[in-house]
Amino acid sequence: MNNKFISSSLKLIGLVSAMSLAALPLSSKLAYAQTPLIITVDGYLNEYSPSNAPLLRRGIVSSTVQDVQILLRRLGFYYGPIDGIYGAQTASGVITFQRSRNLIANGAVDSRTWEALIKADNRTSPTPVSNLNKYSPQTAPVLRIGSRGQAVRDIQGFLKQKGFYTGAVDGIYGNATATAVEAFQRRDARVGNDGIVGQSTWAAIINAAGNPLAIN
């Protein structure tokens, strides 16, 4: 596709989005202000949480709408264009999804709908294959609550593959990740049950990743 056309289209979407935002009530604007500035449009919702995701409704134009459209299409609730425009087709897809989850079918992606969408995304997203061959117990970073990055994402992917973790593989080491690490640690008497991925836990994880029969 022509790069100039893409650039012009993005500028137009940004302008329309800004105009839509200006017309929203203060509560909706505050929700927008809390949205992460850098968002990957891929239909996976690990960048969002129900508490800070923006309220979406008819008239909104944004990359977040695109993410919702992609997910709804993947789930079979939407068959319209992936254009970031929250129009009648998107609202209809949201209403159908809301009814399937026994939510108020108002056609707006509010906090309750965000929660249901994120849960649906977590259940249907493929588990990333974690490459743990690049780590060694002696040099791998110590991971604990508050850690972020690719190493956390790799640990989450491994724990999800092994059935210890059901959350998003988002590279954010929160309480759910720590709890999953503790569950893994309890399976190995040589590892302290502290929820921290230190040298001994790295060794156990790398061993289990290389030996499918090590953890069942």
Please tell me the pTM assigned to this model. Answer: 0.48
Which of 103, 124, 145 is where one domain is finished? 124
pLDDT of residue 44: 72
Residues 158 and 197: beta-carbon distance below 8 Å: no
Count of the separate structural domains present in the chain: 2
Question: Residues 89, 185: one domain?
Answer: no
Question: Residues 78, 161: one domain?
Answer: no
Which residue's structure tokens are 């999804």? Answer: 97
Question: Residues 178, 72: one domain?
Answer: no
Question: Residues 88, 23: one domain?
Answer: yes
Phi and psi, residue 83, nearest 5°: -120, 0
Helix axes 3-22, 26-33, angle to 10 degrees: 140
- For 21, 84, 85, 146, 213, the CA distances from 81, given in Å and listed in that order, are 22, 8, 9, 38, 45
pLDDT of residue 62: 92
Question: Residues 120, 22: one domain?
Answer: yes
Question: Residues 145, 83: one domain?
Answer: no
Question: Residues 20, 103: one domain?
Answer: yes
Residue among 82, 51, 57 nearest 67 (CA): 82
Handedness of CA 133, 134, 135, 141 (dihedral sign): negative
Which of 108, 124, 140 is where one domain is finished? 124
pLDDT of residue 157: 86
Question: Residues 110, 173: one domain?
Answer: no
Which of 69, 90, 124 is where one domain is finished? 124
Question: Residues 112, 65: one domain?
Answer: yes
pLDDT of residue 177: 93
Question: Residues 87, 173: one domain?
Answer: no
What are the tokens at 108? 């707006």
Domain that holds residue 133: 127-216
Question: Residues 120, 132: one domain?
Answer: no
CA–CA separation, 124 vs 57, rounded Å? 24
Question: Residues 21, 114: one domain?
Answer: yes
Residue among 97, 102, 197, 190 nearest 144 (CA): 197
pLDDT of residue 6: 40
Q: What is the pLDDT along the chain (216 residues), one digit of tens a residue?
A: 444 444 444 444 444 444 444 444 444 433 433 434 345 566 677 778 888 889 999 999 999 999 999 999 988 999 999 999 999 999 999 999 999 999 999 999 999 999 999 888 877 766 555 678 889 999 999 999 999 888 888 898 889 888 888 877 878 899 999 999 999 999 887 888 899 999 999 999 998 887 554 454
**Could you tell me the CATH number of the domain that includes residue 63?**
1.10.101.10
